[in-house]
Amino acid sequence: MEYQVGKPGRVVVVRFGDGDDVLGGLEEIVGKEQIRAAAFQLVGGMKKGRFVVGPATEEMPPQPVWRELEESHEAVGFGTIFWQGEQPKVHFHGAFGKHDRVRAGCLREGSECFLVLEAVITELIGVNAVRELDPASGMLLMKFGRMTG
C-alpha cells in the first residue's frame, strides 16, 4: 500500500444536460482548469455508456467483460482524475438502475447524459499522482510521483 496526504482545493459543480458526454466533459473541465488531481461524485441520469463489470477470469492481463446502457438509467458513483502525460484520465465506478434492475461497473466509453446529471469535482492539493500504463495488467493505473517542497 502507498498513500499521500493532501487537502481539498477548488470545488467545481457541473450540470450536464441531455446528450452531453459525461466522461469527456469531466476531462475537458479539469484540463481547462489545470486540476492535476481530483475526486468526483456523479448523480443523475445516463442513457448511453459502455462499462466493465469485471474480468472474464483472474488471469493477467485481465480480459474485460463489457456491458452497455442503451436507454435511460438512474446513475450514481464516485471517481478520480489523474493525468497521463498531457491528458487527464477519468476512473469512475458507478451503479446504473432502471426499474428494479441495478448494474454496477467501471464506465469507460460513450457516456451520454439523460436529461440532467450533476457532478461535484474536488481538487486534491498536495497529491502528486499520475496514470501510467502497467505492463502486467495492460491498464492505466495510478502511480505516485515524487513530492516536491
pLDDT digits (tens, 9 = 90+) for 34-79: 999 999 999 999 999 999 999 999 999 999 999 999 999 999 999 9
**Residue type (1 letter), 121:** I
pLDDT score at 147: 53
What is the spatial distance between Cα 125 and Cα 38, in angstroms, rounded to a whole number? 8
Domain ranges of the chain: 7-144
Per the structure block, which three cell numbers stand in for 73? Answer: 438509467
Q: For residue 26, which phi and psi values (nearest 5 degrees)?
A: -60, -45
- Please state, as a whole number, how many other Cβ atoms lie within 10 Å of the Cβ of residue 70: 9
pLDDT tens readout for residues 79-135: 999 999 999 999 999 999 999 999 999 999 999 999 999 999 999 999 999 999 999
What is the spatial distance between Cα 25 and Cα 16, in angstroms, rounded to a whole number? 8
Q: Are 130 and 82 in contact (CB under 8 A)?
A: yes
pLDDT score at 146: 65
Could you tell me which of 129, 146, 145 has the C-alpha nearest to residue 35? 129
Chain-centroid distance, C-alpha 25: 11
- Could you confirm whether domain 7-144 is CATH 3.30.1330.80? yes
pLDDT score at 145: 80
Q: Are 57 and 133 in contact (CB under 8 A)?
A: no
